[in-house]
Each structure stands twice: as structure tokens, then as C-alpha cells.
Amino acid sequence: MSEIIVQKFGGTSVGSVERIESVAEIVKNASHSNTVIVVVSAMSGETNKLIKLANHFGENPDKREFDALVSTGETISSALLTMALHSKGIKARSFSASQISMKTTDSYSKAKILDVDAEKILKVIEDGTIPIITGFQGITEGGDVTTLGRGGSDTTAVAIAAQVNASRCDIYTDVDGIFTTDPKIVSNAKKLDSITMEEMLELAGQGAKVIQTRAVEFANKYNVPVRVLSSFNDGEGTLINLKEETMENALVSGIAFQKDQVKFTLHGVGDIPGTAFKILGPISDAEVEVDVIVQNVSVDGKTDFTFTVSAEDQDTVTKVIEDIKSEVEFNDLMIDSEIAKVSIVGVGMRSQAGVASKAFKALSQNDVNIQIICTSEIKITMVIDKDLVDKAVQVLHEEFELDK
Ligand code: ASP
Ligand code: MG
């Protein structure tokens, strides 16, 4: 058997029967030199349409039924692509999550993959048939349908690639690859030929939307090389490298940003052991991801505790904080949704100083006030006013000469 590659096609790539026809052509060509496994998203707009239908009978439909409904978009595209391949004389067969035992946890709409029946998939490819597998879907131990969260088909593809030991997972989308930043904000943003897995993890986690963060985490954990490329244009895309290139590490590889953020500040919190846990524990129990977390030096035994969450979690977090009021003493709760995060990422930062000061200088010269700064070895995240994000990204892109 030739090298196995997993090809994943996103919503726009399979957005119409014409698009499905061109995708079938891509799959057919790849199958001449590789053993191919395909994972598909729903046709673009389909998942949103299903969510809208679900909300017709109330804002909070039953979680099990919700997933049963919104998972069907992928079923449509997998069957259609299979038919398209048949029309080209290629042996293919569609598979749902249940048919390949894509086992997940039972947290509906955010289910996590536990296991996949690799044997079943391998049997299909050994027979010379191309499996066309539904992304996004899973099943619980009890056989109920779950979904993996928006953009979850990327994770399906990488998980399958890991389980069958594929030599690569190709994520086909409607852009040419990973860019230095969003070309909609910076017109001369550049497509990267390669990027390290670490950088991609940070960029995806900080808002670069091309590939789901969980998919990158999976790829990193199971050493799956991933390539992001266009199904519309020819090109090599961007390879996400498992190994760090040692020769010429970019100081800054990319800039990511997130506008849909909310900043919570508990003002006047007691500076006593256990406080951070009492605040963040229940938030994490509510399955909300917290990002920038800052606690300052206390004055008179009181301090401020600040963190950011995604805007969709604002109500949940507000409620959690209401609930812990009796246990955690604080003076005020401040909620600010007029903020955004901008992050610069690059493995070169590890060995070179001055990146932060260069960024701060450029922003100050352009009247962008930085509210919070938070760093990791290869990332600097700044919380700023939401209205200034585009400007900040443009300024930083220029300052670090990412267009060169
Ligand atoms: N169809 C799902 C969504 O729109 C999953 C995916 O496309 O990856 O989020
Ligand atoms: Mg996607």
C-alpha cells in the first residue's frame, strides 16, 4: 500500500455540486500516488442553517437533539462526494462517525474524541476503496450522536491521520495557506511556506481561524505533519513542521487577533491562598476556557483579578461569579466587552531580546493604549481597545516587516 494521506475539505471547498466535482478531481489525482482517506465538512452555510432551524422551537433546544440535527450537514457532503467519485469511476464509500466508531465524550456540541476504529478504515483502504468520512460528528459510548464544536472537522481529520499513521494530513480550504496575518486586515500579508507546530498552536489559540486549535493540538500530540492549502488554486500551501528549523527562525512569524472577547475584573479581591482557584475552578467546571489571567501585587491585602474569555461565554461566567459571591470576597465586578487581543508569535523570540519593546514602541507611536500584556516564550499578547485592533495589527505587521 502506498503512503496514506488524509485529505480534509472544508465547507467552501464542498459548497456546491460544482465544487464537489472539483474536489472529486483532487481526490482522484491524489489517489494515483497515495492511499487516500477523505474527511468532509458540511457544505458552507449548511451548519448555520441547521442551527437556525434548531432555534426555531426555543433558544435552548435539547442538547442531544441539537447535535443529532446539526451533524447532518456532514452526512450530506460525504454521500455527495462519494457519488461524484463514483461518476469518475473511482471506488469510494461514505462513512458516518458511527460507522467508523468515532467515540467521543458525551459533552454535546463540545465533544472530545476518545477513540477511532482504525482497523475498520484500514480494511476499506486495503480493498482499494476511498473512505469519505463525515467530519465534526462523533458518537458516545451509548451510540448517541455528538459534535466536536465549530470547525471540528479539522480535528476529525487529524485524529484519523494519527490513528492510521498517515504520513500527512492535508487541510483543504478557500485560502492559499497560513498567512502572516489576516489578509482582510493587511492587504500585503504574506503566505508562509512553513511554520512550526508551536507557532501554529499559539496562532490558532490566539484567533487565527484557518484551522481549529484542537486539531493543531492533536497534530502536535501525535506528531502528524499537517499542510493547509487551497482547493480552489494550485499551490503547495503551508506546511506545519513538526521540527523547529534551526537555521533561520523568524523573529515574528505571524500576528493573530481576537475581537470577540470579554474582560472580567474582580476588583478588591482578598490576597489569600485559594482565591484564584475559587474563581477559576467553577469557570473551568462550566467548560469555559479562560485566557489572559492577571493578578497584581496587592495593596493592603486586596488585589485585582482579571481574565478574558470568549464573548459567547460572557453570560455563563457572569452567572458563575454571582454564584461564588458568598465564597470569594471582592468589591466590584467589572465586565468590559469593548476589548480585543492582539498576539505576535515567533519562535525566534526565544533567542532574541527586544521584540516586546519594539512592539510597544510601535503601538505607542500610533496611539494604541495597551491595557494588559501577557507573554509566553514565543508569544506576546496585548489586550487593547476593540476599535483599535485593525490599526494595531497593521502597525505591527509593518514594524516587523512581515510583508518582506
Ligand atoms: N460543519 C461544521 C461547522 O460549520 C464543522 C466544520 O466545518 O468543520 O462548524
Ligand atoms: Mg473550518
Least confident of 120-124, 139-143, 268-272, 356-360: 268-272
As a whole number of angstroms, the distance between CA 154 and CA 170 comes to: 10
Query: Which CATH number covers residue 60?
Result: 3.40.1160.10
Supply the pLDDT for residue 388: 98
Query: Could you say which of 174, 199, 232 is where a domain stops?
Result: 174
Which residue has a Cα nearest atom 6 of ligand 1? 151
Q: Which residue has the higher pLDDT, 48 or 1?
A: 48
Whether 95 is covered by a domain: the verdict is: yes
Domain shared by 261 and 146, yes or no? no
Query: Could you say which of 141, 174, 207 is where a domain stops?
Result: 174
Domain shared by 169 and 268, yes or no? no
- In this prediction, residue 247 has a pLDDT band, given cuts at 50, 70 and 90, of low
CB-CB contact of 170 with 7 (8 Å):
yes
Domain shared by 259 and 164, yes or no? no
Supply the pLDDT for residue 64: 98
Q: Which domain holds residue 274?
A: 255-399
**219-231 residue pLDDT tens:** 999 999 999 999 9
Whether 250 is covered by a domain: the verdict is: no
Domain shared by 146 and 267, yes or no? no
Whether 212 is covered by a domain: the verdict is: no
Cell numbers at 322, concatenated:
454571582
Query: What's the average model confidence in pLDDT over 5-28?
Result: 98
Query: What's the average model confidence in pLDDT over 1-7?
Result: 95
Whether 270 is covered by a domain: the verdict is: yes
Domain shared by 170 and 276, yes or no? no
Supply the pLDDT for residue 245: 60
**Pairing relationship of beta strands 103-104 and 113-115 according to DSSP bridges:** antiparallel
Query: Which CATH number covers residue 373?
Result: 3.30.2130.10
CB-CB contact of 327 with 275 (8 Å):
no
Rg, C-alpha atoms of the chain: 23
Query: Could you say which of 121, 143, 174 is where a domain stops?
Result: 174
Residue 151 has pLDDT above 90, yes or no: yes
- In this prediction, residue 147 has a pLDDT band, given cuts at 50, 70 and 90, of very high
Domain shared by 34 and 124, yes or no? yes
**32-68 residue pLDDT tens:** 999 999 999 999 999 999 999 999 999 899 999 999 9
Whether 181 is covered by a domain: the verdict is: no
**369-403 residue pLDDT tens:** 999 999 999 999 999 999 999 999 999 999 999 99
Q: What global pTM score does this model have?
A: 0.91
Domain shared by 156 and 288, yes or no? no
Query: Based on the structure, what is the number of domains in the chain?
Result: 2
Domain shared by 26 and 138, yes or no? yes
Residue 249 has pLDDT above 70, yes or no: no
Domain shared by 259 and 170, yes or no? no
In sequence order, the 6+-apart residues with CB closer than 8 A to the CB of 347 are 196, 198, 199, 244, 249, 250, 253, 378
Domain shared by 261 and 170, yes or no? no
Does any ligand 1 atom lie closer than 6 A to the CB of residue 41?
A: yes
**Pairing relationship of beta strands 168-173 and 226-230 according to DSSP bridges:** parallel
The CA 13 to ligand 2 mean position distance, Å, reads 10
Domain shared by 275 and 159, yes or no? no
As a whole number of angstroms, the distance between CA 179 and CA 173 comes to: 13
Domain shared by 279 and 141, yes or no? no
- In this prediction, residue 242 has a pLDDT band, given cuts at 50, 70 and 90, of confident
Residue 248 has pLDDT above 90, yes or no: no
Please state the atom number of ligand 1 nearest to the C-alpha of residue 212: 8
Whether 192 is covered by a domain: the verdict is: no
**Cα end-to-end distance, the chain, whole Å:** 42
Residue 244 has pLDDT above 80, yes or no: no
Please state the atom number of ligand 1 nearest to the C-alpha of residue 148: 5
Whether 292 is covered by a domain: the verdict is: yes
The CA 155 to ligand 2 mean position distance, Å, reads 10
Whether 237 is covered by a domain: the verdict is: no
Does any ligand 1 atom lie closer than 6 A to the CB of residue 346?
A: no
